[in-house]
Homo-oligomer: A and B are copies of this chain.
Amino acid sequence: MSTGTTRRERRDAAPVGCERHMRADAVRNRERILEAATTLMAVHGIDVPIDEIAERAQVGVGTVYRNFPTKRALFEALLLARITPLVSAARTAAAADEPGEAFVGFVRNLCDEFADFKALADAMVASGVDLSAAKNQISGELIEAVAQLLERAQVSGRIRPDVTISDVSAMMAGLSHTDPMLMDPSQRKRCVALVCDSLLVGARSVLPQCALKQSPPDPVRTGPRSC
């Protein structure tokens, strides 16, 4: 059971800035791997087998593991790349003239992000896992930034004061992780709009682009899909 520890410290792989000299083909392969992993994890989340990533990258599994010591490491590398811009987006939004609108905009954007890259949602939902230091730091920054954004939006009087950052996190996680069959893009937009409505003070359906359409003529049985 203690083998897990030894394994991770075999080599630090993933040359970030040091690269004392990476062979040209190695660089190419690494990029291919990242590309393939991005594509596959966007659709299937973290459940993609490494073999599939390797195959798509036209590379052996060994090559994948030479670049990323662990499947999780690869996963986290991709996450980091996705989360970083979100942090600055949140900070920008917090500094906006109308923090209320900015908050709602950010939330919508966040959900789109989740939908575009399922692995992100996976990471959010599986909050129990122990993440690497880097990931923990960046996600802490995200939380912090969103919390500030939320606070300003509340001070501005646009967002209910009784809503907490935990509420927002939980709802985002929930909305982003549902099966695509039950939650296609337009359905997700509707749900996000509903949730936003519940966060706003007073007004309803304030999201112009995203306003809920009138329900269909026959409101009973909107679709025969399963529970």
Contacts and interface: CB of A to CB of B under 8 A. Distances in A.
Given A170-B178, A181-B127, A183-B170, A142 B190 contact: no
A166 interface: yes
A212 B150 CA distance: 16
B219 A191 contact: no
Contacts of A181: 127-128
Given A125-B179, A140-B227, A161-B215, 5 more contacts: A127-B182, A140-B224, A151-B219, A166-B190, A173-B179
A83 interface: yes
B162 A212 contact: yes
A72 to B, nearest CB: 14
A24 interface: no
Contacts of A226: 127, 131, 135-136, 139-140, 143
Interface of A: 83, 123-128, 131, 135-136, 139-140, 142-144, 147-148, 150-151, 154, 160-167, 169-171, 173-183, 187-188, 190-191, 194-195, 197-199, 204-205, 212-216, 219-227
- Stoichiometry, as copies per complex, reads 2
Contacts of A147: 219-222
A183 B179 contact: no
Nearest to A224: B140
Contacts of A83: 227
Q: Which of A175, A191, A194, A216 has the most CB of B within 10 A?
A: A194
A204 B159 CA distance: 13
Given A131-B226, A182-B125, A215 B163 contact: yes
